[in-house]
Amino acid sequence: MKRQRIADLGLSRRSFVGGLLGAGYGVVGANAQEIDPSTGLPVYGNTQQGRAPDVGVYQIDPNADNRRNISSFRSRHWSDFFSNIGVGVVLADVSSKALHYWNADETIHRIYPCSIPVSEDLTKRGLTEIVRKAKNPPWTPTPDMRRRNPDLPQRVEGGDPENPLGPYGLYLSWPAYLIHGTHDTRKIGRRSSNGCYGLFNEHITELYGMAEVGTQVAVF
């Protein structure tokens, strides 16, 4: 039964790991080090791709141990956090850098690799829900981001290549927190966001079509 359930996910361990490697989970080549003005942390990569802090850079040390515990991706179930499934459940597993989704009747279960916040200070854990959905969401830096970097734009419209939110956004009841896409696939599977959870654009497109407003979310 367990083996069949995993097969039904449409995401084998091999394809999942392959996707992570394709996203840049492996060894990163040498790049000029800079400091991200929005976080104060070292960044690596081509920072000329965009002015928005989440575009064109990834905020990790390429010499760090980036091994992942693949066996942990399926270790939690929605019932560990909620008494009923409601219209659906999303689990954001910070330690595994993976996001789970179940629909209301559990005929669909997806696991997506995701980006996570760059630091514990920016990581909010607990129970929330999806309160709004948006196609081509605009990006407005939060007051904290603007204090760290006054040069940030006031707003970047949806669809702009410098917008770090990608094609779709799922807004949580926590202000300024959402699940969204990204145009920089190197961010997936890494500490690389200012608090949100980023997915490959094809994955957020699929999740956007399935997850309803009112979907329960647990971040742990």
Q: Which residues contact 181 (CB under 8 A, 6 or more apart)?
A: 165, 166, 167, 168, 169, 198, 199, 200, 201, 203, 204, 205
* C-alpha–C-alpha distance, residues 141 and 200, integer Å: 21
Q: Is 168 exposed, middle or buried, given 0-12, 13-18 or 19+ CB atoms closer than 10 A?
A: buried
Distance separating alpha carbons of residues 9 and 139, to the nearest angstrom: 32
State the Cα–Cα distance between residues 172 and 216, nearest whole angstrom. 9
Among 73, 78, 53, smallest CA distance to 129 is for 78
Note whether 189 and 68 are within 8 A (CB). yes
- Give the catalytic positions in this structure: 180, 196
Beta bridge partner(s), residue 103: 88
